[in-house]
């Protein structure tokens, strides 16, 4: 059994290490723990000091000393755990652990393409290259190269956004939640916003429309019922205190059956006849019609603007396929008020996502190339036959890596778009189904947990989905089967390390 002091230390593979050579050794005493200076003179540790500097290595040695002392107190440490090799292993492992980034690249095999917990949209190559090109040195973020005077960071993307959506003006903030908050605050602070009861959405991360209205300092007037709202409901609610009519695209749920809502064009006609603006929060907001690829249609900002909406807000890292951002497009008058509102400064976008957003939007100037160049659309439009071909390549090697404890089969699966978009629509996909072998049926749940844990402990963790007593690995988002194949020897090693556990076999 590994002593508890070792259980806090992990090697570069992420697998717990056991100190070697302990069997048969006698229990260590406090006097057996070497002095810091002696540890620092060990050849491997001296090399570490030269490579990583004294500060980090001494901190690792001190932390390890503490761990050894408490292990000695608990009678968990043998003298075999204090050989020069064991000392060097433990300290090197601590140094590596300290230097290893907590935010790491993973493989998303969950079947949810835009996965909020896994960082949502993946950046396109052109966006990554643009980031590298402009972030290493100074750039013209707020500097007008034509005139040599101060510029506005919005102008990096405003023209592009207007070209792509047909808007008169555009501005951008940190995320779409900020875009909605800013829009309501700028257009309706201390006044009333009319919204349908059927559209008071909550999305993940504690974003609830009524709370956003309150935070923005607006008074929310709910009209209609959960399933039905009519034009006269809005009409009757309009008073001299009204500042804004609001539509929210209910992207993450569907109300079905006896339902009725007022479309944007009808609402805009009413609003404009009373001199009021209409704002629509689209949430995901695709910039192109997804139906052209056989995907479910998602309303576009273009459609909303054509319908007469004065402001449309949507996310940068959902269907758009870019970085976290909140995009606000609309009329010159409305966008002008939003841009000048003081809260805008607190919600402004950083130069990093702004550069990535510009490069992503530029891809939309060549829409014919989008399904190749934009990872989100590439993954959403990947033909099931191509996904199955990847599954066929991986299945035999995967089966070998997890045998004999698990069996592997190629199966048809259903992927989801994710991130609050189109919850009722699922995309035919394919992948691997990994099931505990028939002889191990006793502890199925435990065996699956062990497998999922081993997959997460890989150098590039693989995140799957447990369903129906199996682990499903949806291969829609795997661009290169090699990313999985190269890790199979590590997977086998991790599973074998667990194999001694009688609860599993």
Which of these ranges, 159-167, 170-178, 347-355, 401-409, lies near ligand PLP under the rule CB under 6 A?
A: 170-178
Specify the residue, 207 or 341, whose C-beta has the smaller distance to ligand PLP.
207
Q: How many whole angstroms separate alpha carbon 341 and alpha carbon 345?
A: 8
Specify the residue, 180 or 401, whose C-beta has the smaller distance to ligand PLP.
180
How big is the chain, counted in residues? Answer: 505
Q: How far is the CB of 180 from ligand PLP (least distance, A)?
A: 6
Q: How many whole angstroms separate alpha carbon 124 and alpha carbon 241?
A: 46
> Which residue number is nearest to ligand PLP in terms of Cβ?
283
φ/ψ of 439, rounded to 5, equals: -70, -15
Answer for the pair 283, 207: CB distance below 8 angstroms, yes or no: no
Specify the residue, 79 or 252, whose C-beta has the smaller distance to ligand PLP.
252
Tokens matching residue 424: 């009722």
According to DSSP, the residues that pair with 432 across neighbouring strands are 410, 473
Answer for the pair 61, 45: CB distance below 8 angstroms, yes or no: yes
Q: How many whole angstroms separate alpha carbon 493 and alpha carbon 488?
A: 9
Q: How far is the CB of 427 from ligand PLP (least distance, A)?
A: 19
Q: Which of 22, 110, 175, 487 binds ligand PLP (CB under 6 A)?
A: 175
* CA angle, 282 then 114 then 136, to 5°: 95
Q: How far is the CB of 81 from ligand PLP (least distance, A)?
A: 49
Q: How far is the CB of 150 from ligand PLP (least distance, A)?
A: 29
Specify the residue, 39 or 319, whose C-beta has the smaller distance to ligand PLP.
319
* CA angle, 228 then 230 then 231, to 5°: 160
Q: Which of 77, 161, 164, 203 binds ligand PLP (CB under 6 A)?
A: 203
Which residues are CB-contacts of 326 (< 8 A; sequence separation ≥ 6)? Answer: 172, 173, 174, 175, 176, 177, 178, 179, 180, 182, 313, 314, 315, 316, 347
Specify the residue, 158 or 317, whose C-beta has the smaller distance to ligand PLP.
317
Looking only at residues 236 through 255 of this chain, which bind ligand PLP when binding is defined by CB under 6 A? 248-249, 251-252
Q: How far is the CB of 310 from ligand PLP (least distance, A)?
A: 18
Q: How far is the CB of 23 from ligand PLP (least distance, A)?
A: 54
Specify the residue, 123 or 462, whose C-beta has the smaller distance to ligand PLP.
123
Answer for the pair 471, 464: CB distance below 8 angstroms, yes or no: yes
Specify the residue, 246 or 394, whose C-beta has the smaller distance to ligand PLP.
246
Does residue number 201 form part of the binding site for ligand PLP (CB under 6 A)? yes
Q: How many whole angstroms separate alpha carbon 280 and alpha carbon 312?
A: 5
Looking only at residues 270 through 289 of this chain, which bind ligand PLP when binding is defined by CB under 6 A? 281, 283-284
Q: How far is the CB of 199 from ligand PLP (least distance, A)?
A: 9
Does residue number 420 form part of the binding site for ligand PLP (CB under 6 A)? yes
Looking only at residues 429 through 458 of this chain, which bind ligand PLP when binding is defined by CB under 6 A? none
Q: Which of 67, 157, 170, 177 binds ligand PLP (CB under 6 A)?
A: 177
Does residue number 183 form part of the binding site for ligand PLP (CB under 6 A)? no
**DSSP 8-state secondary structure symbol assigned to residue 382:** -
Does residue number 315 form part of the binding site for ligand PLP (CB under 6 A)? yes
Tokens matching residue 45: 């540790």
Calculate the CA dihedral of residues 409, 413, 417, 419 and round it to 10 degrees.
-70
- How far does the chain reach from its first CA to its final CA, in angstroms? 18
Specify the residue, 111 or 285, whose C-beta has the smaller distance to ligand PLP.
285
Which residues are CB-contacts of 210 (< 8 A; sequence separation ≥ 6)? Answer: 200, 220
Q: How far is the CB of 400 from ligand PLP (least distance, A)?
A: 41
Task: Count interface residues toward ligand PLP (CB under 6 A).
Answer: 17
Answer for the pair 347, 181: CB distance below 8 angstroms, yes or no: yes
In the complex, the residues that contact ligand PLP under the rule CB under 6 A are: 175-177, 180, 201, 203, 207, 248-249, 251-252, 281, 283-284, 315, 326, 420
């Amino acid at each position: 059994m590994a002593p508890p002091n070792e259980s806090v230390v992990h090697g570069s593979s992420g697998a717990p290490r056991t100190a070697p050579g302990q069997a048969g050794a006698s229990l260590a005493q406090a006097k057996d723990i070497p002095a810091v200076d002696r540890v620092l003179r060990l050849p491997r540790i001296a090399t570490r000091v030269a490579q990583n500097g004294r500060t980090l290595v001494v901190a690792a040695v001190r932390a390890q000393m503490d761990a050894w002392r408490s292990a000695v107190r608990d009678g968990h440490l043998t003298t075999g755990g204090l050989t020069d090799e064991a000392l060097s292993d433990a300290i090197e492992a601590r140094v590596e652990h300290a230097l290893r980034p907590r935010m790491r690249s993973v493989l998303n095999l969950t079947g949810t393409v835009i996965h909020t917990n896994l960082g949502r949209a993946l950046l396109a190559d052109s966006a990554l290259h643009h980031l590298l090109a402009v972030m290493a040195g100074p750039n013209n973020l707020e500097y007008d190269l034509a005139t040599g005077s101060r510029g506005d960071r919005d102008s990096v993307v405003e023209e592009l956004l207007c070209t792509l959506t047909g808007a008169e003006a555009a501005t951008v903030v940190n995320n779409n939640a900020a875009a909605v908050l800013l829009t309501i605050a700028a257009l309706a602070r201390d006044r009333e916003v009319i919204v349908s009861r059927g559209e008071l959405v909550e999305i993940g991360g504690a974003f609830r429309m009524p709370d956003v209205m309150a935070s923005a300092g607006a008074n929310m007037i709910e009209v209609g019922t959960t399933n039905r709202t009519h034009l006269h409901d809005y009409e009757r609610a309009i008073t001299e205190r009204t500042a804004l009519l609001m539509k929210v695209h209910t992207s993450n749920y569907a109300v079905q059956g006896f339902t009725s809502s007022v479309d944007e064009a009808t609402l805009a006609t009413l609003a404009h006849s009373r001199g009021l603006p209409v704002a629509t929060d689209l949430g995901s907001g695709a910039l192109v019609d997804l139906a052209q690829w056989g995907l479910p249609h998602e309303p576009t900002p273009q459609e909303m603007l054509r319908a007469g909406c004065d402001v449309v807000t949507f996310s940068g890292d959902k269907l758009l396929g870019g970085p976290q951002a909140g995009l606000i497009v609309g009329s010159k008058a409305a966008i002008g008020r939003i841009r000048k509102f003081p809260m805008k400064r607190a919600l402004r976008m950083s130069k990093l996502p702004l550069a990535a957003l510009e490069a992503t939007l530029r891809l939309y100037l060549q829409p014919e190339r989008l399904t190749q160049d934009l990872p989100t659309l590439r993954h959403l439009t990947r033909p099931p036959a191509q996904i199955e071909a990847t599954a066929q390549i991986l299945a035999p090697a995967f089966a070998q890596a997890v045998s004999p404890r698990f069996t592997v089969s190629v199966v048809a699966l259903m992927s989801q778009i994710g991130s609050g978009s189109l919850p009722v629509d699922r995309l035919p996909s394919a992948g691997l189904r990994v099931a505990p072998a028939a002889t191990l049926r006793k502890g199925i749940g435990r065996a699956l947990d062990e497998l999922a844990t081993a997959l997460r402990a890989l150098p590039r963790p693989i995140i799957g989905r447990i369903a129906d007593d199996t682990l499903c690995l949806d291969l829609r988002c795997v661009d290169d089967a090699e990313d999985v194949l190269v890790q199979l020897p590590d997977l086998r090693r991790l599973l074998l390390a667990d194999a001694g556990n009688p609860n599993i076999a």
